Amino acid sequence: MRRTLIALGIGFGLLGSTVVSAPAQAASAVKVPLALTVPTAQQVAAFWLADGAANLKNATPYAVQTVVQGERVSTPVVPDGAPGQIDPLPPLLSEEGQPSTTWGKVFFVGADGQAHWCTGTAIQSKYRNLVATAGHCVYDPQSDGAALDKWVFVPGYSEGTTPWGLYVGKQALTHNDFDVYADYGRDFAFVNVYNGVVSSSAGVLTDTGRLTETVGGQGFAWNQTSTPSVDVFGYPAGPNPDGTRPYTGQTLESSTGPTFTMTLSGLSADQPIGVDSPFTGEGSLGSSWLYGYSSESRTGYLTGITISVSDTDGDNRYDTGVSPYFDREAAVVYMAAANLWTGSIARTGSTA
């Protein structure tokens, strides 16, 4: 799988923001191709939507690198520059008055040839087409970094339904250190998706519009030093070490807790952070961490992504979600993805 290494030193003036800080030096982003052509993307959509969305219904939660041994520490994170943030776009209402959701599941075919899913979140971007998730929910570092196949995002997914459309991934961007060095301190990905589609009984794809114009998008924040608490949103599904299964993965779950720095054993990660959260690992990979979350607007600022969970107190139940720290280099990777166009793959409907 060919990847493109992009040297980026770009400003952040292209999106509405309340606090903006351009990077003083370039960071490296890796562009991972997923479905680069419209015919390929149409085939991907057909794979998931065919036979009453059977492949969506039969997918299982991804179980790669779901658990890590970790300890909580009091050492504060060290920002690599000034803090900044991009404002969210609030979720919208359907014609029936039903509120949309920025959260959903990302589906793909893994290295084992089976259909799996993680959690994903629609976030604000210039072209309204961006999804945030864990880096290893886009490509598999255990298989020489091969991109996961047939990658799509379904906001509000429930039992095979695609209430706001199915969005095929065109390309993903992540940090060079995750791609080359398997640095899980950079285990995040931003995926550009084509316009959403739904399928008729005859298999004709109809355009549902650009992602965040349809469901809204969360904001994005970096180099935050004063986020004592965040709200975590995801679809946890796996068991605790004691065998209990508090979650089914069928509905969106949330938790609220304080954040802290961590040290990890057996997983290379520079400056990982943790959050008090009871989420189990399978299914919650890619869960969004939002600071400043408002239940009224249903928006906040993405400041972390679950890449694994940990039992830090040894009671055989997971109590901690683990994320990379979003610093200036994470912001540059985000901005590179936020400025990439995708377009429509539908055979009918809008081509905007």
Q: What pLDDT does residue 94 have?
A: 64
3-state SS, residue 320 = strand
Q: What pLDDT does residue 213 have?
A: 95
For residue 65, give the nearest of 341, 324, 291, 329 by alpha carbon.
324
Average confidence (pLDDT) over 230-246: 97
- Which burial class, exposed, middle or buried, applies to 167 when counting CB atoms under 10 A from its CB (0-12, 13-18, 19+)? buried
- Which burial class, exposed, middle or buried, applies to 74 when counting CB atoms under 10 A from its CB (0-12, 13-18, 19+)? exposed
CB atoms < 10 A from the CB of 6, how many?
16
Any idea how long the chain is? 352
| pLDDT band at residue 134 under the 50/70/90 scheme | very high
Instruction: Dump pLDDT digits (tens) for 59-69.
Output: 999 999 999 99
Average confidence (pLDDT) over 325-337: 95
Look at residue 172 and tell me whether its pLDDT is greater than 60.
Answer: yes
Please state which of the ranges 20-29, 76-85, 325-334 shows the lowest mean pLDDT.
Answer: 20-29
For residue 267, give the nearest of 329, 310, 328 by alpha carbon.
310
Residue pointed to by tokens 């935050």: 224
Look at residue 14 and tell me whether its pLDDT is greater than 70.
Answer: no
3-state SS, residue 59 = coil
| pLDDT band at residue 266 under the 50/70/90 scheme | confident
| pLDDT band at residue 5 under the 50/70/90 scheme | low
Look at residue 236 and tell me whether its pLDDT is greater than 50.
Answer: yes
Look at residue 143 and tell me whether its pLDDT is greater than 90.
Answer: no
Please state which of the ranges 39-48, 170-179, 190-199 shows the lowest mean pLDDT.
Answer: 170-179
The identity of residue 10, as a single letter, is I
Q: Are 274 and 322 in contact (CB under 8 A)?
A: yes
> What's the mean per-residue pLDDT of the chain?
89
Average confidence (pLDDT) over 48-62: 95
Q: What pLDDT does residue 260 have?
A: 95
Average confidence (pLDDT) over 242-268: 94
Tell me the sheet residues that pair with 161: 158
| pLDDT band at residue 89 under the 50/70/90 scheme | very high
Question: Is 103 or 96 the better-scoring residue by pLDDT?
Answer: 103
| Distances from the Cα of 128 to the Cα of 175, 209, 210, 343, angstroms | 21, 10, 6, 10
